[in-house]
Amino acid sequence: MSQPLSFENKNILVTGGAGFLGSHLCERLLGDGHRVVCMDNLSTGEARNIEALLQHTNFRFIRLDINQPFELENFSELAAFKVPFQGIQEIYHLACPTSIKNFDQFKIQTLLSSSLGNYHVLELAKKYRAKILLASSSVVYGSRQDGAPLVMETDQGSVDQLSPRACYDEGKRFSETMFETYRQVHSLEVRIARIFRTYGPRMPLFDGQLIPDFILNALDGKELVMYGGRGFRTSLAFVTDVIDGLVRVMDSPENPGPVNLGSDVDLALEDVAKKIIAMTDSSSQIVEGESMIFLSELSLPRIDRAKELGWFPLVRLEDGLRRTVEYMKANKILLTNL
């Protein structure tokens, strides 16, 4: 099979590019000198996340639902990228609805994104012989196991395929199966990154994501609601670390198999809330809230495989929270109006 042509400045497609992770990834890839096609239907992504990128000569935004068939060469706005000649060199596939409070609203779209959407994107990768990365999730391991919170990539997780949140959990497992099958059958260069809980600027607001809501409420002196309960534990990786991990996984010369990307430090979320209150000089109180289907305690990652790629989370929790607080302060009027 002939090898795809090599280009110094790649054409890179990012699906879900207007989302929290996707917008930071687009920004990073532009900074690395590549041409970026950002594709998003804005169901859970936000146009404001990519507003600063729209004037960049190497950035194009296409509002499109990947669950519908599409041909990149039909979009006149991509003419400058010479797609019929250069094609697409890399695809970062992040598109999948993610909403904690409004999870039920997007169940069918989530189901389709993890099947039909994958098919459309994988067929595109096959057409252009593009290297393709799946943004998978820690949910493939199932719930955290007592006494064994750490998981490695060779661990076989277990999820309930009939649970209220199965469209996402089982959807991510099936997504990995689809990508691996395309690798086996069509010799695609496939990469799989399993992303653990991530925080930072541009996280969705008022959606049960906890960290941004903690900060906004602390700035206003309102109660900080612990939806997972006071004993809720998790790991937290800062968004720029995770984006660096995605790029390293994509750039790996050989397929490393699935790679865990996240922090292996176990945190009590109540302690994180206390840090935010202290950081904002707030008088807010911490209270317990209702449980949510999409908010559960997940495993922590063993990151030995990521370390072999030269990756390690560098941003300390205190520094990441401070950067997120500064972003929320600077954009507070806009964010609260939204």
Low-confidence winner among 7-11, 120-124, 139-143, 289-293 (lowest mean pLDDT): 289-293
Encode 126-153: b = buried (16+ Cβ within 10 Å), e = exposed: eebbbbbbbbbbbbbbbebeeeebbbeb
**So what's the pLDDT on residue 6?**
67
In the predicted structure, residue 337 carries a pLDDT above the cut 70: no
307 is a domain residue: yes
Comparing 50-54, 278-282, 304-308, 334-338, the range with the smallest average pLDDT is: 334-338
Count of domains in the chain? 1
Within a domain: 173: yes
- Considering only residues 10 and 143, tell me which one the structure prediction assigns the higher pLDDT: 10
Is 23 a residue whose pLDDT tops 90? yes
- Report pLDDT for 98: 82
pLDDT at 338 over 60: no
Q: Is residue 282 part of a domain?
A: no
336 has a pLDDT exceeding 70:
no
Residue 147 lies in a domain: yes
Examine residue 276 and state whether it is found in any structural domain, yes or no. no
- Report which DSSP code applies to 299: P
Evaluate if residue 283 carries a pLDDT over 50.
yes
The phi, psi pair for 234, rounded to 5°, reads: -160, 175
What number of other Cβ atoms are within 10 A of residue 236's Cβ? 21
The vertex-210 CA angle with 206 and 213, nearest 5°, equals: 45
230 located within any domain = no
Higher-confidence position of 242 and 207:
242
The pTM of the full predicted model, rounded to 2 decimals, is 0.94
3-state class of 271 per DSSP?
helix
Q: Rounded to 5 degrees, what are φ and ψ at 177?
A: -60, -45
CA-wise closest residue to 207 among 5, 45, 41: 45
Structural domain harbouring 192: 11-198+237-264+297-314
292 belongs to a structural domain? no
CATH number at residue 157: 3.40.50.720
Q: Which of 92, 128, 141, 168 is catalytic?
A: 168
pLDDT at 294 (0 to 100)? 60
Write the pLDDT tens digit of every residue in 134-189.
999 999 998 877 766 899 999 988 888 988 889 999 999 999 999 999 999 999 99
Q: Which two tokens stand for residue 337?
A: 């109006």
- Indicate the average pLDDT of the chain: 91
1 pLDDT more than 60: no
Close Cβ partners of 333 (under 8 Å, ≥ 6 residues apart): none
Report, as an integer, the average pLDDT of 176-204. 96
The answer to whether 141 is a known catalytic residue is no
Tell me phi and psi for residue 49, to 5 degrees.
-65, -30
Q: Are 136 and 192 in contact (CB under 8 A)?
A: yes
Q: Which residue has the tokens 């002196």?
A: 221
Residues above pLDDT 90, as percent of the chain: 75
The per-residue pLDDT for range 33-47, each reduced to its tens digit, is: 999 999 999 998 899
In a domain, 4, yes or no: no
